[in-house]
């Protein structure tokens, strides 16, 4: 029998944390022992792992004794507060928050794109922003044919990216709207039913929100190319758990549509959904609960001689978060 690992999940009761448990089960990760950690509020809750009710414990600095791998998805403040304690205890931290992503000593890893970076960790490996992960999985096979020089991307982001409470708010607000009842949003900043709005992260001095700037900086770090220019517009749409993105790229040389299709069809983690005759392309109901990023609508960019346009969709909770984190853990085995 191969080696088994003692694993902890910090933020185990959240939308991503519960999917991390499911991914460890589904991928048959060699778990010797699973420790579920969350805030005091969740102490007493039991979550099922491999058919066994597993108690949730309070996340403290002492939670990581004996732990080999600690998956964090409890938000950046909790990561800043507790990741160092996990590393001191000897665990490798795989952090889903934005706390450490841009630190030079922290690899930012998408296993289909830059798996080799994981080996350079010094205790912490960062899981990129979900919108960035989904985009780079689709773009890496094209970048390998001819380097991408410029990306223009518009995202259509699901409620799940803002957490389990935002998913519930979408359901509650939609029910209220259908029943013509008033509903006051408490999680997201604007009415969500039958509406969409600019991403709910703060807008910086340059007019871009944090989510958009994450796509700029993280894409460059993952692809090891500081020259790539990225212009992102991030939008929250009333979809439960898959992000979609309309992407146009400019490459060093013109890549033909058939070349792009062949590369994407052969790429790991990608499924081409490109049925022009049936007008069927990637959509959230096709990517929900799927591991692959769906890619389609691959066509020439009519505004740019060396450009291609495409549309992608990926499950925000899986490839955008929990699955990518567990794949990183697999790289360490
Ligand atoms: N930033 C993403 C979103 C989720 O707001 O949808 C976390 O990566």
Q: What does the pLDDT look like over 285-318, one tens digit per residue?
A: 999 999 999 999 999 999 999 999 999 999 999 9
Active site residue 313: no
Question: CB–CB of 315/240 below 8 Å?
Answer: no
How many Å apart are CA 156 and CA 154, to the nearest integer? 7
The sign one gets for the Cα dihedral 323, 325, 331, 333 is negative
Can you give the pLDDT at residue 262?
Answer: 98
- Tell me the backbone φ, ψ of residue 86, rounded to 5 degrees: -65, -40
Active site residue 304: no
Residues of the chain with CATH 3.40.50.720: 5-127+321-332
Query: According to DSSP H, which parts of the chain are helical?
Result: 15-26, 76-88, 130-145, 164-178, 210-223, 257-266, 284-287, 323-332
Q: Which CATH architecture has domain 132-316?
A: 2-Layer Sandwich (3.30)
Mutate to test the pocket of ligand 1, among 201, 211, 222, 315 (most ligand atoms within 8 A of CB): 211
How many Å apart are CA 116 and CA 208, to the nearest integer? 31
Question: CB–CB of 36/12 below 8 Å?
Answer: yes
Q: Whose CA is nearest to atom 5 of ligand 1?
A: 161
Question: CB–CB of 246/295 below 8 Å?
Answer: no
How many Å apart are CA 199 and CA 209, to the nearest integer? 7
Query: Residue 105 pLDDT more than 80?
Result: yes
Query: Residue 108 pLDDT more than 80?
Result: yes
- What would the two tokens of residue 148 be? 């991408």
Residue of 130, 143, 234, 313 marked catalytic? 130
pLDDT category, 205, cuts 50, 70, 90? very high
Q: How far is the CA of 85 from the centre of ligand 1 (A)?
A: 25
Q: Whose CA is nearest to atom 4 of ligand 1?
A: 161
Residue of 143, 199, 243, 313 marked catalytic? 243
Q: How far is the CA of 159 from the centre of ligand 1 (A)?
A: 9
Please identify, by atom number, the ligand 1 atom nearest to the C-alpha of residue 211.
1
Q: How far is the CA of 184 from the centre of ligand 1 (A)?
A: 22
Q: How far is the CA of 254 from the centre of ligand 1 (A)?
A: 32
Query: Residue 269 pLDDT more than 80?
Result: yes
Mean pLDDT computed over 135-164: 98
Residues 6+ apart with CB under 8 A from 134: 243, 245, 293, 312, 313, 314, 316, 319, 320
Domain 5-127+321-332 of CATH type 3.40.50.1220: no
Residues of the chain with CATH 3.30.360.10: 132-316
Can you give the pLDDT at residue 256?
Answer: 98
pLDDT digit string (tens) for 19-40? 999 999 999 999 999 999 999 9
pLDDT digit string (tens) for 115-130? 999 999 999 999 999 9
Mean pLDDT computed over 78-102: 98
What residues are in contact with ligand 1 under a 6 Å CB criterion?
129-131, 157, 161-162, 211
């Amino acid at each position: 029998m191969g080696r088994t690992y003692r694993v902890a999940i910090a933020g185990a009761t959240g939308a991503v944390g519960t999917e991390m448990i499911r991914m460890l089960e589904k991928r048959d990760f060699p778990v010797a022992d699973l420790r579920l950690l969350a805030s005091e509020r969740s102490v007493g809750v039991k979550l099922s792992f491999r058919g066994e009710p597993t108690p949730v414990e309070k996340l403290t600095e002492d939670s990581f004794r004996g732990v080999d791998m600690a998956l964090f998805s409890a938000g950046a403040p909790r990561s800043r507060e507790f990741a160092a304690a996990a590393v001191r205890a000897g665990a490798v931290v795989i952090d889903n928050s934005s706390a450490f992503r841009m630190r030079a000593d922290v690899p930012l890893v998408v296993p289909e794109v830059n798996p080799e970076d994981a080996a350079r960790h010094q205790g912490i490996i960062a899981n990129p922003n979900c919108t960035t992960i989904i985009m780079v999985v689709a773009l890496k096979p094209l970048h390998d044919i001819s380097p991408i020089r410029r990306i223009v991307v518009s995202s259509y982001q699901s409620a799940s990216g803002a957490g389990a409470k935002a998913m519930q708010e979408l359901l509650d607000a939609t029910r209220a709207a259908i029943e013509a009842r008033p509903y006051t949003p408490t999680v997201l900043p604007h009415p969500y039913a039958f509406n969409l709005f600019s991403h709910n992260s703060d807008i910086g001095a340059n007019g871009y929100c944090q989510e958009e700037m994450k796509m700029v900086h993280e894409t460059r770090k993952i692809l090891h190319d500081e020259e790539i220019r990225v212009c992102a517009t991030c939008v929250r749409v009333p979809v439960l758990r898959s992000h979609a993105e309309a992407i146009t790229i400019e490459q060093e040389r013109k890549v033909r549509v058939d070349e792009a299709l062949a590369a994407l069809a052969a790429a790991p983690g990608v499924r081409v959904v490109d049925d022009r005759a049936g007008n069927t392309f990637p959509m959230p109901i096709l990517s929900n609960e799927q591991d692959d990023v769906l890619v389609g609508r691959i066509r020439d960019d009519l505004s740019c001689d060396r450009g291609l346009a495409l549309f992608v969709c990926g499950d925000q909770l899986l490839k955008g978060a929990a699955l990518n984190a567990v794949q990183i853990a697999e790289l360490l085995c």
